[in-house]
Amino acid sequence: MQTVTRDLLLQKACELLDAGTVNRVYGWQKGQFDYDVTPAVFSSREELEKDFVYNDFCGANFSKYLIKETAGEGKILVFLKPCDTYSFNQLLTEHRFDREKVYAVGIPCDGMADIRLIEEEVGEGVTGVETDGDKLIVHTLYDGDVKLNRADYLAERCRVCKSKKHVAYDELLGEDGDVVDSARFDEVAKLEAMTPDERFAFWQNELSRCIRCNACRDVCPACTCEKCVFGNPKSGVENKAVSDSFEEKMFHIIRAFHVAGRCTDCGECSRVCPQHIPLHLLNRKFIKDIDAFYGEYQAGAEVGSRAPLVDYTEGDMEPGEAVASVDERGGKDA
Amino acid sequence: MRKCALANKNALLAAMAKTAKLYVPVDGADEKSRDVNSRLAGAYYAEWKDGTQLSKKLNTTRSPKDFFFPQTENMMTFKMTGKKLEIFDTRREHEDFILFGVRACDVRSFTVLDNVFLSDPVDSYYANRRAHGIIVSMACNKPAGTCFCRTFGIDAADPEGDVICWEDDAYIYLTAKTEKGEGLLNAVADVTEDCADDAADAVKATVNERLDKLPLADLKSDAFGGGKTDTFFNDPAWNELSEACLGCGTCTFVCPTCQCYDIKDFNTGREVIRFRCWDSCMYSDFTMMAHGTNRPNHMQRFRQRFMHKLVYYPENNGGLFSCVGCGRCLSRCPISMNIVKVMKKLGGNENAE
């Protein structure tokens, strides 16, 4: 269960609105089933009291929305979970929004639940999900209320949470946590241990489900080009079609290259994928390699940091050494 | 009406598969599979083979519209040799195929697509596939929390289709609604037996009771329909509704009725392939013309998708809505914005919360 409550956030939002510190609030709007929460802008106490919600399904990362929202008049309040603050800083590093127009309130996060894991367990008749301590009470159409262990139904990115620490905020609600020594690279290590053929088959299977909806790109806080090369009819590579099975791999691999060194591993790409493709594993592979080749680097940990891939130092590893080290770890063709 | 014991379902499917290629909904991976992602991605249609386990999920993640209107399709190829231009027709005559287990919402979606592709000028690519498809529909014993097909007058207890099926704990009941359907039932006569015409009534009654109790059972479409452009077009609520929309194509691509496409040429170096592929009104280059785009901001693109389903399409198609209440967009939208929320916000007093 979340240590900050909806009421506490509501109180803070109203206080800042009343004091004139902000004129809008970026928050979560309640849906119809508890789990279908929509990011929304609230402009008044009335709107907040009516629709503002905070529960175990508030996973959306608001940082990218600040690009659009800071184009407006006045300051906007944004609630940031620890992982969101890394994207926030990374966007500031890239000068993507006006910091002066944001009042950031850091809020602790105890992980967000994944409705698909819940539905896989109890079926599709879910009408609501409430949290009761370390349990989830799932209201269903055909099996009454089903009690689940909350920890088992957290989103993958939350089960391997990398940080409970906020790296950016104007004000913090509750206690700040620490960077967590998480197991987030374990899945990558499993892929590295595969033979190239096995690995190819793994990605072939996963990426074959891609429907090219672009949700991964559109939600990604590192993908902020005003006109994506894949959405520009004049680019010559614009393509809405899956013209062959290689197409999707190219799209996702190129995207992973483009965000390498800038991706904070927020996991939004995998959260939004309608086909449940573990896209974050591509990005994590880059992060793992960058850590191994250039020393540990966490994008977004501080504003203005130079990512190793765009920062030359004399001690940099030579490309040949990098290739050799990958070969050692099983990457070489058998 | 015919029936077949559930224990003999594999034999029934085998008999169907003898008459034509048979496609059934299956799960992405079996429960033992380490590939949890495939499983969580949901069910999809695959060709039936002896022993194929059917998905127990209510519906597939992608709708069966792919069978008639595939995501990408080559329309023709061009080849230049010197000054000679050759055009090759890439259409092939399709063979018959059977879609088994199609839900009532998805069966209605074919009617929605038919109105577009089979009206003059007839789309021969679509018509070719449609003519060869046999729809075996299945009543929804356990409609999901996100279902709202009744809002659009669709009956999940008694679907449309060539052959309609119901299942209880012991039997699958089948009845033919068309000539194609009768042909199929005759072909599987050996593995089915006659039963009373009201044999499936108990199942229908159960499904109806369940439909009554769905969370979205009260959603009304009455406020929408043809002639309502002026009522909704300039509603300020569109700004708020579209605020957090990412502009991705998820809703469009999982939607059984979205039918927009783009046509492009792809130069392989040896020839030029003219293909069409699904497009989405959510994309910024949708219907891009020489003068630019006619919907320059995102609110306009968002509005287009819902106005089309709730107003423009019914206006041009005798009042038929182009949403079938399947709920796919409800469960897949990255920000959980969807047509139900739009209808509740705009739908007048009847849908007011």
Q: Is the pTM of this model over 0.80?
A: yes
Instruction: Find the CB nearest B330 among A36, A233, A242.
Output: A36
Nearest-CA distance A316 → chain B (Å): 37
B170 plus B255 within the same structural domain: no
Quote the pLDDT of residue A241.
Answer: 64
Find out whether B4 and B191 touch, Cβ atoms under 8 Å: yes
Quote the pLDDT of residue A334.
Answer: 43
B352 plus B313 within the same structural domain: yes
How many independent structural domains does chain B possess? 2
- Domain membership of residue B80 (yes or no) is no
Give residue A247's pLDDT band: very low, low, confident or very high (50, 70, 90): low
A141 plus A258 within the same structural domain: no
B23 plus B166 within the same structural domain: yes
How many independent structural domains does chain A possess? 3
Average pLDDT over residues A150-174: 96
- 3-class state of residue B27 by DSSP: coil
A120 plus A107 within the same structural domain: no
pLDDT at A330 over 60: no
Least confident of A73-82, A305-314, B135-144: A305-314
B190 plus B260 within the same structural domain: no
Compare all CA atoms of chain B with the CA of A202 and give the residue at the minimum distance.
B35
Sign, Cα dihedral of B242, B245, B249, B253: negative
A215 plus A262 within the same structural domain: yes
Give residue A184's pLDDT band: very low, low, confident or very high (50, 70, 90): very high
Which residues from B are below 8 Å from A276, CB to CB?
37-38, 40-42
Quote the pLDDT of residue A324.
Answer: 82
Domain boundary (B158, B190, B217) is at B217
A42 plus A58 within the same structural domain: yes
B244·A39 Cβ contact <8 A: yes
Which residues from B are below 8 Å from A205, CB to CB?
35, 38
- For A95, the domain range is 6-114+159-172
Q: What is the pLDDT of residues A126-140, one digit of tens each?
A: 999 999 999 999 999
Which residues from B are below 8 Å from A243, CB to CB?
72, 266, 273, 275, 277
- Domain membership of residue A180 (yes or no) is no
A238·B285 Cβ contact <8 A: yes
B174 plus B229 within the same structural domain: no
- Domain membership of residue B342 (yes or no) is yes
Domain boundary (B170, B191, B217) is at B217
Quote the pLDDT of residue B351.
Answer: 60
- Domain membership of residue A42 (yes or no) is yes
Give residue A244's pLDDT band: very low, low, confident or very high (50, 70, 90): low
A310 plus A215 within the same structural domain: yes
A98 plus A232 within the same structural domain: no
- Domain membership of residue B87 (yes or no) is no
B149 plus B19 within the same structural domain: yes
Instruction: Find the CB nearest A240 among B41, B277, B338.
Output: B277
Give the C-alpha distances (Å, rounded to integers) separating B245 from A240, B35, B310, B352: 19, 30, 19, 22
- Domain membership of residue B158 (yes or no) is yes
Q: What is the mean pLDDT of each run of 10 residues along chain B (353 residues)?
A: 96 97 86 66 93 92 95 92 92 92 98 97 95 98 97 97 97 97 97 96 97 96 94 96 95 97 87 91 86 89 97 97 98 96 82 54
Percent of chain A with pLDDT over 70: 93
Quote the pLDDT of residue A100.
Answer: 97
B206 plus B248 within the same structural domain: no
Give residue A320's pLDDT band: very low, low, confident or very high (50, 70, 90): confident
A312 plus A206 within the same structural domain: yes
**Rounded CA gap, B124 and B118, in Å?**
8
Alpha-carbon dihedral A224, A225, A226, A227, rounded to 10 degrees = -130
A96 plus A225 within the same structural domain: no
A323 plus A222 within the same structural domain: yes
- Domain membership of residue A219 (yes or no) is yes
B191 plus B265 within the same structural domain: no
B152 plus B265 within the same structural domain: no
- Domain membership of residue A15 (yes or no) is yes
B285·A232 Cβ contact <8 A: yes
- Reading the block at residue A73, the tokens are 């008049």
Quote the pLDDT of residue B30.
Answer: 53
Nearest-CA distance A55 → chain B (Å): 15
- Domain membership of residue A131 (yes or no) is yes
B131 plus B209 within the same structural domain: yes
B197 plus B280 within the same structural domain: no
Domain boundary (B217, B252, B268) is at B217
Nearest-CA distance A123 → chain B (Å): 8
B119 plus B211 within the same structural domain: yes
A222 plus A321 within the same structural domain: yes
